[in-house]
C-alpha cells in the first residue's frame, strides 16, 4: 500500500489553515495583531477541513474519486517546504483526485450505535466494545492479509489481532509521538503558539 | 447576536474527537496503548469535522438549516462537563439544526483568487490584500451596523474599520490566548498530550 497515488493522480489538493492573509489585512488596517495562537490555528484547521469535505462531495458528485491522506498534517513541515508556505500557513488535510480506474467497495465501518450518543456520553462496557469491533476484527484482518506486503509484515511479526496490527505495526507510539512533536513545533514556527 | 439558537433550536449536534472506544479495544486486545498524543487528537478532530460536514450537507439537502458554533472547541471543557465526556473524548465542532424560519442571504465571501493557490503559495502583496478585502470591508461593516447592539458597541468604542472590529471587539488577543490555554489544558486532561 505505497502511496503512489500521490505521484500518479492528476491532481493533488492541499487545504491549509491560513491566517497569513488576514494578519496582513489587520496590519494594513492598524488593527491589533491577533490570530497567532493555538485557538486560531484550530479554527483555521477546522474551516480548512470543512471546505475540503465540501470540495470532496462536489467532486464525487461529478464522478471523481479521491483519497484523503493522513500524512498531510503528520508531514506538515515537509509539505510546507514543498508548497513554499510562509508564516501563518499550515497544511491540514489533502487528497489526490482523479477518475477512478475501479469502483471499490465501501470500507468496513463501525456500527452506528457505537458512534452516536444521545443527551450525554454513554460509556461502553467491555461486552459492548467487543460487539462494536467484532465485524471489523474479521473484515479488517482479512483486508490486511489480502495485501502481499502487509501479509508478509504481519507474518514476520508477533501480532495476533487487528488491534495489534494498528499499534505494533501501523501506528506505533514512537511514530505518533514524533509526529505530535513535529506538528507542535511547526505550529510554533508558523506563528500559532504565542500565548504570552 | 446572542446565541439563543442554542436553547431555541430543536436539535443540537456535537461532534467529538473520540479515542475512548478504540483505547478500550486496544486494552482488551492486549495491544500497545497509543493514541494518547496530540497527533491522535488532530486525526480524530479532523475526522469529526469531516463527519459534521457530511451530516450538514445531508441535512441541508433535506431542507434543514444549521448554524456552526465557534464556541464548541473554545468551550470544550464546559461542554465536556455537560455531555459527561470521559477521558479520550473532546468536543470539536457543533451546530444547531432545525427548519429555518427565514431564508437568509449567503454571507460575504472572499473572492476565490484570494483563496486558491496553484503549485506553490502565492504570497500576496499589499495591493492584492486590499483588493481581496475591499468588498468585505464595506459589506461586513454594514452588516455589523445593522445589529442594534453591535452598532452601539462599535459607536461607543474607538474602532474605525472592520479589521478593528474583529481584533478589538470580537476576537481579542486576551480571549484567544485564554481559549488556547484552556483547550490545550483540556487536551492534557483528556489524555492527548503524552509525549514522553
Q: ipTM, 2 decimals? A: 0.94
The whole-chain average pLDDT of chain A stands at 92
Encode pLDDT of A153-196 as tens digits. 999 999 999 999 999 999 999 999 999 999 999 999 999 999 98
Distance of residue B109 Cα from the nearest chain A Cα, in angstroms: 13
- CB-CB under 8 Å, B37 with A86: no
3-state secondary structure of B184: helix
Flag whether residue A21 sits within 8 Å of chain B, measured between CB atoms.
Answer: yes
Query: What does the domain layout of chain A look like in residue ranges?
Result: 5-104+173-189
Question: Span A20-27, mean pLDDT?
Answer: 96
pLDDT at B21 over 60: yes
**Residue B85: φ, ψ to 5°:** -75, 130
Distance CA A162, CA A151 (A): 12
Q: Which residues of A touch B57 (CB under 8 A)?
A: 53-54, 57
Flag whether residue A71 sits within 8 Å of chain B, measured between CB atoms.
Answer: no
Class level of CATH domain B5-104+173-189 = alpha beta
pLDDT at A45 over 90: yes
Q: Which residues of A touch B114 (CB under 8 A)?
A: 21
pLDDT at B108 over 80: no
Indicate the Cα dihedral angle A56, A60, A65, A66, nearest 10°.
10
Distance CA B32, CA B23 (A): 9
By percentage, how much of chain B surpasses pLDDT 90? 78
| Residue-level pLDDT at A6 | 65
Flag whether residue B177 sits within 8 Å of chain A, measured between CB atoms.
Answer: yes
The whole-chain average pLDDT of chain B stands at 92
Q: Taking Cα atoms as reference points, which of A3, A11, A17, A6 lies closest to residue A62?
A: A11
Encode pLDDT of B113-147 as tens digits. 889 999 999 999 999 999 999 988 888 899 889 99
3-state secondary structure of A16: strand
Q: Which residues of B touch A114 (CB under 8 A)?
A: 21
- CB-CB under 8 Å, A163 with B26: yes
Distance of residue B138 Cα from the nearest chain A Cα, in angstroms: 13
pLDDT at A141 over 70: yes
Flag whether residue B183 sits within 8 Å of chain A, measured between CB atoms.
Answer: yes
Per-residue pLDDT band for A1 (boundaries 50, 70, 90) equals very low
**Which range has the worst mean pLDDT, A118-127, B5-14, B150-159?**
B5-14
Flag whether residue B25 sits within 8 Å of chain A, measured between CB atoms.
Answer: yes
Distance CA A73, CA A68 (A): 11
Amino acid at each position: 500500500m505505497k502511496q503512489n497515488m500521490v505521484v500518479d493522480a492528476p491532481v493533488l489538493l492541499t487545504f491549509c489553515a491560513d491566517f497569513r492573509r488576514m494578519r496582513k489585512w489587520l496590519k494594513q488596517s492598524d488593527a491589533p495583531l491577533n490570530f497567532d495562537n493555538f485557538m486560531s490555528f484550530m479554527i483555521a484547521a477546522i474551516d480548512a477541513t470543512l471546505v475540503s469535505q465540501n470540495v470532496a462531495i462536489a467532486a464525487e458528485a461529478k464522478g471523481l474519486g479521491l483519497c484523503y491522506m493522513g500524512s498531510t498534517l503528520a508531514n506538515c513541515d515537509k509539505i510546507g517546504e514543498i508548497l513554499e508556505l510562509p508564516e501563518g500557513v499550515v497544511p491540514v488535510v489533502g487528497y489526490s483526485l482523479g477518475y477512478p480506474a475501479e469502483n471499490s467497495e465501501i470500507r468496513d465501518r463501525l456500527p452506528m450505535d457505537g458512534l452516536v450518543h444521545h443527551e450525554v456520553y454513554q460509556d461502553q462496557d467491555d461486552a459492548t466494545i467487543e460487539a462494536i469491533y467484532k465485524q471489523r476484527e474479521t473484515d479488517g484482518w482479512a483486508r490486511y492479509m489480502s495485501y502481499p506486503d502487509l501479509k508478509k509484515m504481519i507474518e514476520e511479526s508477533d501480532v495476533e489481532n487487528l488491534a495489534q496490527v494498528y499499534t505494533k505495526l501501523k501506528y506505533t507510539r514512537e511514530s505518533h509521538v514524533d509526529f505530535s512533536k513535529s506538528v507542535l513545533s511547526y505550529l510554533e514556527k508558523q506563528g500559532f503558539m504565542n500565548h504570552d
